Copies of this chain bind each other. A is one copy, B any other.
Amino acid sequence: MAKKSRDNAKAAKKAKAVKPLKKKIKKLEKALAESQARTAAPRVSPLAPTRFPDLPEIAGVAFAATAAGVRYKGRTDVMLARLAPGTHIAGAFTRSSTRAAPVLDCETKIGRKTGPEEGAAILVNSGNANAFTGKAGQEAVEAIASSVARAVGVPQARVFTSSTGVIGEPLPHARVTAVMDDLTAQLSPTGMEDAARAIMTTDTFPKGAMAEIEIGGHPVRIAGIAKGSGMVAPDMATMLVYIFTDAKVAQPLLQKLLSELIDETFNCITVDGDTSTSDTLLLAATGQSPAPEIRTRRAKTTQVFADALRGVMLDLAHQVVKDGEGATKFVEVGVTGAETVEDARKVAMAIANSPLVKTAIAGEDPNWGRIVMAVGKSGARADRDRLAIRFGDTVVAENGWVSPGYDEATVAAYMTRPELMIGVDLGLGDAAAKAWTCDLTHRYIDINADYRS
């Protein structure tokens, strides 16, 4: 009995200990959740659009996507676009001096004279970038291109391929050519969203954009897809963009428009300032709209078409930034008052690329001192005492010093928004430029440091 009583007393004492233990567990769980949240992986970027847009069918283009098992399991990883005879194709590519085999191949094919009966095709695989793969890289490109050419009935010189994914590993091209019949059997004008999904690597959402205009009383449609700077170690960010239109435009003019517009769109975005070996943009015009041909750069109709194309390119470019690794903020940097457009772009990109600016934005800190620093290092002409800096509509610094009416609380509240505007006026001239970037967060380090646990 005495023992039982002692046991009871012990048990009662232990029982008393339960409550504080449970309290401690709750506290620890909360602390752990908070600590983990700082580096947690969101399934989809918080900046993603609510849904994939309804892309119009583009006369003369059919799409197919399938799972070839290049690297990923249980998802599509190859897309095919078949382009009707008469389609003109323009392209823009990475400026890297270590360009991947498919990029080098595309470059030789762009702008080549084509017969009116020649169709074309674009084939893209994800999972393997076919980059830094020596001679085997070019052989893989040729194996795939010749397989597509046979299956779709177009000359091999009219087959454009891209690859994105792991680098330095030989592309298992037989897996791609093995699904060629499956792909051609599926070809459909409505398959564009599936194509957008098949080219994703670690993108957290598929990217699409469209525009519809009227030329000579007839509708002209533009629709495009992109993949962004998702990355799977040991990969690197690659941006792939495919835009389709039923407009009738000769190749040289199409190329001229693309080259012009890329400087205001894809060349003005940055996630981390690094450049892929595989960046590719292809623009295909089928000419199947009944609208009249777009003939000269200066015609009014050309401007209407260029504006619509710019809108689609900008929309896709912004989506790439919004899916930047670890991005929680989308930032537009607007520079005005520069002596030249080149200077304005230099300043905008120096701010957009600065790790110090990007981490300040992650911390929701209106750190205008770092903007001053980035302007200073840009290499553009700038005068400290003429500089004005805005966050949103609030002027924070001007005439070489903090703005007299500057209220930090207002700007701190503004900085909590997911989409931000930083304005810089250099006070020297009339030239302006914009750049778009995202913040630099713990998640970027997580994704790219590839913690080996």
Contact = CB atoms under 8 A, between A and B. Distances in A.
A376 interface: yes
Interface in A267-292: 272-277
Using C-beta atoms within 8 Å of the partner chain, give the interface range for chain A.
35 or more
B15 A373 contact: no
Interface in A69-102: 94-99
A2 interface: no
A261 B385 CA distance: 32
Given A359-B445, A441-B445, A441-B449, A168 B373 contact: no
Contacts of A380: 97
Interface string A394-423: 000101111000000000000000000000
A336 B39 CA distance: 38
A376 B233 contact: no
A449 B277 CA distance: 30
B442 A364 contact: no
Contacts of A231: 356
Contacts of A135: 400
B233 A134 contact: no
Interface in A36-70: 36, 38-39
A382 B98 contact: yes
Contact of A134 (B96, B401, B452): B401
Contact of A36 (B17, B35, B356, B360): B35
Most buried by B among A38, A353, A368, A387: A38
Contacts of A400: 132-135
A18 interface: yes
Interface in A342-401: 353-356, 359-360, 362-365, 367-370, 372-378, 380-385, 387, 397, 399-401
28 contacts: A14-B14, A17-B18, A18-B18, A35-B36, A35-B39, A95-B377, A97-B382, A98-B375, A99-B384, A132-B372, A132-B397, A133-B401, A166-B369, A168-B369, A233-B365, A272-B356, A273-B273, A273-B354, A273-B355, A274-B355, A274-B356, A275-B376, A277-B372, A355-B444, A359-B449, A360-B448, A365-B452, A441-B445
For the complex of A and B, 5 pairs with smallest distance between CB atoms: A96-B376, A98-B376, A363-B449, A14-B15, A359-B448
